[in-house]
Amino acid sequence: MDVIERARRYLAKLPPSIQGAGGENALHKACFSTVAGFDIPPDEAFPLIAEYNQRSAPLWSDNSVRVKLSGVNRFPGERGFLLGEESRERINRPTPAPPPPKSPRLRPETFIPNDTEIAQIARVRGISPAAVSLAVANGVLSVGTNRELPAYFLHGPGIFQAKRLDGGKWQLRDGGESKVDTYFPVKGFGIRCGINKDTKVVIITEGLVGLLEAVEAVLRAEDESGECWEGVGVIAAYSKASVLSNKNATYLSTRHVMILADAGEPGLKAAKGWRRAIKTAGGSARIRQFVEGDLGDELKRSPGCPDYLTEFYRNTKMRTSTNPTPTPTQRTPHETHDDRNSR
């Protein structure tokens, strides 16, 4: 049986997309399973999803289906994980740096989350399962057991962080509590999702879980506009010392960058440090600081994508289309205004 037929039979077993009953998430799962799970290109996957769409109520437009297929294909990550006999493959990733001598703990074994776990993470974070699935596809989120409890993990260069699957806090050996359990010393700048050589717009958030909320914001923008936000990537920064390597600064200096700073002086200090490094490398970046909380709090207060992100993307897209090679140090009056308020 060829891959197309296997995918068709798999889709036939998935629940239909019904408005008011998780229809959008059902369509996303169908697209994600076809493109990523069976490693079928979007153009070849479209007829399969069109067949699946016949069970939808109401039917999705062809354009909406293509936007969803393009969206799941844009993020890099493991492909073909539904082609094997196991539906739940172990994630095969390079071994991270060994823990320091005072922390002999070994990295837990991790797995690709199943549908139930993806839905649970989405509920805890207050975002859509689609955003969680894209983080999984990009290889930065997995699940397993930590301190004998179900957990989900966010991992990137020099970092491996565990959070409880039920949203609770970890009980530490000294009797205290913590929202996160970090295994390795913080080294590097952040974990990346959707970042490649074609990325033109980069959104930087503070904290590893901020990556999930940033992906959610992009997905909301796509749903509102009915178009795929091409060339957009997100970075979750976790370097409290505001350190940005020359390599990362050089990469970001040729992109349009917006830094979302958490409320409070530490968040603004970190954002200014990242912006300073980018400026030294010849680029520029806008800073948007929250009055209270962070991006996750803002997304919970409003069902849509923040207007400032949509405006930033549209202005960037306009500048890019009129000037294919924009000078990184150029600023619009609006950008200068944001920078001035962030000092």
Kindly state whether residues 199 and 285 are assigned to the same domain: yes
- Point out the domain boundary residue: 150, 182, 214: 182
| pLDDT recorded at residue 89 | 44
pLDDT interval class at 9 (50, 70, 90): very high
Are residues 321 and 227 part of one domain?
A: yes
One domain for residues 58 and 153: no
Model-level pTM? 0.67
pLDDT at residue 322 is higher than 60:
no
Mean pLDDT throughout 211-231?
A: 91
Same domain, 198 and 323: yes
28 and 11 in one domain? yes
Calculate what percentage of the chain has a pLDDT beyond 90: 47
Does residue 219 lie within any of the structural domains? yes
| Residue 231 belongs to domain with CATH number | 3.40.1360.10
| Structure-token pair, residue 141 | 């989120």
Domain limit, last residue, from 137, 160, 182: 182
Hey, which of 22-31, 66-75, 120-129 has the most confident mean pLDDT? 120-129
Is residue 132 domain-shared with residue 246, that is, in the same domain? no
Predicted confidence band of residue 34 (pLDDT cuts 50, 70, 90)? very high
Q: Which two tokens stand for residue 61?
A: 């437009």
Q: Give the pLDDT confidence of 237-270 residue by residue, as tens digits.
A: 876 555 688 888 999 999 999 999 999 988 898 8
Identify the residue with better confidence: 122 or 23.
122
27 and 156 in a single domain? The answer is no
Following CA atoms 180, 160, 183, 276 in sequence, which dihedral angle do they give, to the nearest 10 degrees? -80
Please compute the mean of the pLDDT values over residues 316-322 and round it to a whole number. 73
In a domain, 254, yes or no: yes
The answer to the question of residue 96 being in a domain is no
In this predicted structure, the answer to whether residue 318 has a pLDDT above a threshold of 70 is yes
Answer whether residue 94 is part of any domain: no
158-182 pLDDT, tens digit per residue, is 788 999 999 999 987 777 889 988 8
Residue 122 sits in the same domain as residue 53: no
Predicted pLDDT of residue 330:
39
User: In angstroms, rounded to a whole number, what is the distance separating the alpha carbons of residues 29 and 261?
Assistant: 32
Residue 19 has pLDDT above 90, yes or no: no
Residues 236 and 204 in one domain: yes
Domain range for 17 is 3-74
Greatest alpha-carbon pair distance for the chain in Å reads: 62
Q: Are residues 198 and 149 in the same domain?
A: no
Q: What is the mean pLDDT of residues 53-64?
A: 91
Nearest to 125 by CA among 43, 18, 54, 212: 212
- Distances in whole angstroms, Cα of residue 241 to Cα of each of 174, 244, 272, 273, 341: 25, 9, 11, 8, 22
Would you say residue 334 has pLDDT above 60? Answer: no
Q: What is the mean pLDDT of the chain?
A: 83
Same domain, 205 and 324: yes
Q: Is residue 234 part of a domain?
A: yes
Number of domains comprising the chain:
3
Please report whether residue 176 resides in a domain: yes
> Is 24 among the domain residues?
yes
88 Cβ neighbours under 8 A, 6+ residues apart: 111, 112, 114
Bridge-based pairing of strands 110-111 and 256-261 is unpaired
pLDDT digit string (tens) for 74-104?
A: 766 778 888 874 444 444 444 445 555 554 4
Same domain for 242 and 272, yes or no, is: yes
- Decide which of 125, 158, 182 is a domain's last residue: 182
Whether 62 maps to a domain, the answer reads: yes
pLDDT confidence bin for 341, thresholds 50/70/90: very low
Tell me the pLDDT tens digit for each residue of 21-32.
Answer: 888 889 989 999
